[in-house]
Amino acid sequence: MNVSERPAEPAIVERLRHRFGGSSDFIVRLIQEGPKDRCQYAVCYIDGLVDKNLLAFLLEAVVAEAREGAGMTQDLARSLTSRIPVGSLTAPESEEALVHAILNGEAVIVGNELTFELSVAIPGGPSRAVEEPSSQTVVRGPKDGFTENLADNVSLVRRRLRTPDLRIENRVLGRYTRTKIAVFYIEGIVQPVILEELGRRLDAIDIDGILESGYIEEFIQDTSWTPFPTIQNTERPDTVAGHLLEGHAAILVDGTPFALILPVTFFKFFLSSEDYYQRHDIASFVRMIRFIAFFVSLLLPSLYIAVTTFQQEMIPTTMLISLAAQREGVPLPALLEALLMELTFEVIREAGIRMPRVIGPAISIVGALVLGQAAVQAGLVSGAMVIIVSFTAIASFVIPALGMSAAIRLMRFLLMVLAGSFGLFGVLAGMIPLLLHLVALRSFGVPYLLPIAPLKWMNFKDLFYRLPWRTLTERPAVIGSRNPRRQPRRGPKREGTRK
Amino acid sequence: MLFISNYQLFAITFIYQLGTTIIFGFGSSAGRDAWIGELISTGVGVFIILIYIALMKLNPGLTLVQWFPVQFGRWIGTPISFMYPLMFIYVSGRIIADVRDMVATALLSDTPYILTAGLFAIIMAYCAFGGIESVSRLGEIFLPIVLILFGLEVILLFGSDVLHIHYLQPSFEKGWMPIQKAVFPAGITQSFGETLVFAMFWTQTKQPEKVMRITLLATILSGVMITCFDVLAIMAFGTLFSGFLYPLYTLLSVISVGHFIENLQMFGVLYFLMTALLKCVVLMLAAVTGIQQITRMKSYRVLVIPACAIALILGLTMSKNIAEHIYRHHFEILVPYIWVPMLLVVPGILLIVSLLRRLRK
């Protein structure tokens, strides 16, 4: 077909071309069959947002309709719709809606003799396969993690909660990115107050772009003036499902594998979904290890500084002598020594994340040998300090939530400075305001230190330890109190065990 | 509206009453009969607290500073009620001075007073900004820590083999007089009379009808706990006990289990600082909310920093050393001229007036 013969496009196509400004990925496919100018369709879509296979089916149907259906029936639209084998069909009302439909991965069919435009949803494009989550791994438990594709993520959650009470509410946020987000909750378990508050906070967001759930987290959290996360994020669909069952709500954002869970309390950050899959006694032990690791990672360096600098009399004599011998040639005071080592560790850590994977072994050799052993041999730091710093660092990785361990790291530096200036009194002077801060924090109106302050004995069943599932008959108080019963309460013994 | 749950009220009342008494021990002037004095004081203290609670019930929904204008009339009542916030600030200044000396003696001998006391005052101001709801939750967290540490201390003391039960004998060596002197007026005003400060917060409890039971329970338990400390100290030191400034701190230093668990007095200091801080914050909050209610200000928060600054200056300047602080200011000025009139006489008169008014109606 040469240019002069090119038939006139439907007017709407012209306008769409103009709207997209001639972008190379905006494709208009003209279909002209039958008697000249008798029947003409145009299919508009964005290459890369639609599924190629489905598009082929769609085009085939439109071509067939143009070839055979022309003039056969009066109702063109009906005969066309009946031929289209794929996707959900809509008829966008306005041009704006048409543009958004195209941008959402729909193909729009316009025809000279159609009285309206038909939009077929055939979203596609590149996406990653479901893989094991990289930030939260488990030994026992499901290995699938969220991907960047919202539709896949929704299905991962839905597959775990096959109930009509699982509600998914979609929204579009971001003036330019038009990011799809989905709010998940289970009707009848979640507290309506929380949903209302969440809706209000989401409505207030008006920004040009949302690229990750972190944006939303910052917009909807109760306060920005705290290092502690008041909204949890997870890559694991089973974690989301577990929290939904306890009365939390979740937000999934298109384009990121990190889902948000809210409201959330301090202690939630120390739980892993694996705790619920393992035997309860093992899981409880591991949990206690995590809480000990929390205190170690927060307090160990500052206690060491305080005791060695100000309160040496607290150290048993033999230990004191060996510590003093180690520190003999060290030029720096304990505080500076600890800060130096901690900062070095932070640098190595950050390098480990940012560097290209290939250079990894080089960094670990430099880190372990040069900064560890050689620094001790050179007399720059004492061996005890290396042990303290490395144990602290390892302990901070035991905490399952990255956001929480980051907050603890920050607080650690503060406490170290206080310990270096005021000794144990400084540690106390840091801990009390920290506690008060935690106590005053709220996540969607739920007190952050929930089962401890205010005290809820019931929630202790699943806190520092996890009792067997048989005894967890109620959902945790406050967040899950709308529908407290999780399973019927049984007698102390299983039927049949009594002889 | 802020609310304090029953358990929170129990926790803050209990820790408040331990407050600084736990640092200085109780009634060391009574020698080895101090623990008897403490038990008697607890008994009388319960009675005094019953008076305060009766006042609360006679003036429903009103706080301490609102009682006086209502019962005595505006012109007499307002000046009297203004005295209470001032007294609270003064007492929190005294606690800052206690902490100043305690920290200097036990933890940081070379650090200037202004730094340690200043840091303490800053923490206090921060907590006071948080408000009574946060502070009561803080108390809720402190309570198990305090109880667990107490339990550990008792176990370790028995494990160290330093307690001698015969040191408690003979009782009533010098008759009733030393005990009576320790009990009245110092013993009953200290911590038990001071509980009057909670009249500022009783209106904010979730179940005001349970205030009486909870406060009395907390009072009896804190009395028993201080008695236990006294008994332990006497069992460890005998009559030497009277000579110590910080008997309970010294008590911790004798712990020695297997030559490894030793020198625990540092933890003891931290423990005392926690209770002292909570007491100080409660007093400060009562003072600023009191002034706010009398002057009908919108928020008490603007008052926090000036009040804490005044308390800090008072704490730094009121006494030159611990001996002057305790033996002169506490026993010769504070107790007879401030606490007795304000914690015993004025509430007594108020009770009579309130009852008479009630009868007239």
> Within its chain, how far is the Cα of A263 from the centroid?
14
- Residue A141, pLDDT above cutoff 50: yes
pLDDT, mean of residues A331-358: 88
* Nearest residue in chain A measured CA to CA from B103: A425
Count of the separate structural domains present in chain B: 1
What pLDDT does residue A499 have?
46
Kindly compute the dihedral angle of the four CA atoms of residues A478, A482, A487, A489, in this order, to the nearest 10 degrees: 70
C-alpha torsion B84→B85→B90→B95, nearest 10 = 110
The contacts of residue A404 (CB under 8 Å, 6+ apart) are A228, A229, A269, A270
Closest CA to A368 of A381, A354, A380, A386: A386
3-state SS, residue B171: coil
Mean pLDDT of B220-226: 92
Q: What is the DSSP letter of A466?
A: B
- Any B CB within 8 A of A433 CB: yes
The position carrying tokens 């899950």 is: A480
For residue B254, the SS3 value is: coil
Interface predicted TM-score (ipTM) of this complex, two decimals: 0.91
The answer to whether the CB of B28 falls within 8 A of the CB of B246 is no
Residue A193, pLDDT > 90, answer: yes
Poorest-confidence range of B4-8, B50-54, B74-78, B178-182? B178-182
Rounded to a whole number of angstroms, the CA Rg of chain A reads: 30
Provide the pLDDT for residue A466. 92
Q: How far is A352 from chain B (nearest CA, A)?
A: 38
H and E: helices and strands count for chain B: 14, 2
Asked whether residue A73 carries a pLDDT value surpassing 60, the answer given is: no
- At residue A492, the pLDDT reads 59
**Mean pLDDT of the region A459-488:** 88
Q: How many Å apart are CA B181 and CA B12, to the nearest integer?
A: 29
Give the tens place of pLDDT for each residue, B60-109.
888 999 999 988 888 999 999 999 999 999 999 999 998 998 888 888 88
Give me A37's structure tokens: 């100018």
Show the tokens assigned to B184.
Answer: 């009245």
Q: Decide: residue A120, CB within 10 A, 0-12 exposed, 13-18 middle, 19+ buried.
A: buried
Instruction: State percent of chain B over pLDDT 70.
Output: 99
Helices B211-237 and B113-160, interaxial angle, to 10°?
70
Question: H or E stretch including A29?
Answer: strand A26-33
Distance CA B287, CA A8 (A): 85
Count of all residues that appear for chain B in the document: 361
Distance CA B113, CA A459 (A): 44
Choose the weakest-confidence range: A368-372, A423-427, B75-79. A368-372
Measured between beta carbons, the chain A residues lying within 8 angstroms of B257 are none
Tell the burial category of A204 from Cβ atoms under 10 Å away from its Cβ (0-12, 13-18, 19+). exposed
Q: Is the pLDDT confidence value at A8 over 70?
A: no
Average pLDDT over all residues of chain A = 87
What gap in Å lies between CA A401 and CA A229, rounded to an integer?
A: 9
The CA distance from B124 to the nearest CA of chain A, in Å, is 9
**Would you state the pLDDT for residue A161?**
95
Residue A255 carries which DSSP code? T
Backbone φ, ψ for residue A272 (5° rounding):
-120, 155
Instruction: Report residue B304 CA to chain centroid gap.
Output: 20
Span A269-286, pLDDT tens digits: 999 999 999 999 999 999
Least confident of A43-52, A85-94, A212-221, A304-313: A85-94
User: Which residue range(s) make up the domain with B176?
Assistant: 6-348
Classified as helix, coil or strand, A111 is strand
Q: How confident is the model at residue B161 (pLDDT cuts 50, 70, 90)?
A: confident
Is B354 part of any domain?
A: no
Q: Which amino acid is located at A4 in the chain? A: S
Residue B360, domain member (yes or no) = no
Partner residue facing A454 (CB), from B123, B137, B269: B137
> CA A241 to CA A184: how far, in whole Å?
9
- Within-domain flag for B353: no
Report the C-alpha gap between B179 and B34 in whole angstroms.
7
What is the Cα–Cα distance from B235 to B231, expressed in whole angstroms?
Answer: 6
* A250 membership: H or E segment, kind and range: strand A249-253
pLDDT of A2 higher than 70: no
A498 pLDDT above the threshold of 60:
no
Provide the shortest C-alpha distance from residue B141 to chain A (in Å). Answer: 7
Residues of A in contact with B127 (CB under 8 A): 432-433, 436
Query: What pLDDT is recorded for position A7?
Result: 57
Pick from B127, B140, B277: which is nearest to A455 by CB? B140
CATH of residue B330? 1.10.4160.10
> Within a domain: residue B361?
no
Is B358 inside a domain boundary? no
A498 or B69: which leads in pLDDT: B69
More confident position, B227 or B266: B227
* Mean pLDDT (whole number) for A321-334: 87
Q: Give the single-character DSSP code of A7.
A: P
Q: Which of A425, A449, A454 sits opposite B107 (nearest CB)?
A: A425
Whether residue B292 is predicted with pLDDT greater than 90 in this model: the reply is: yes
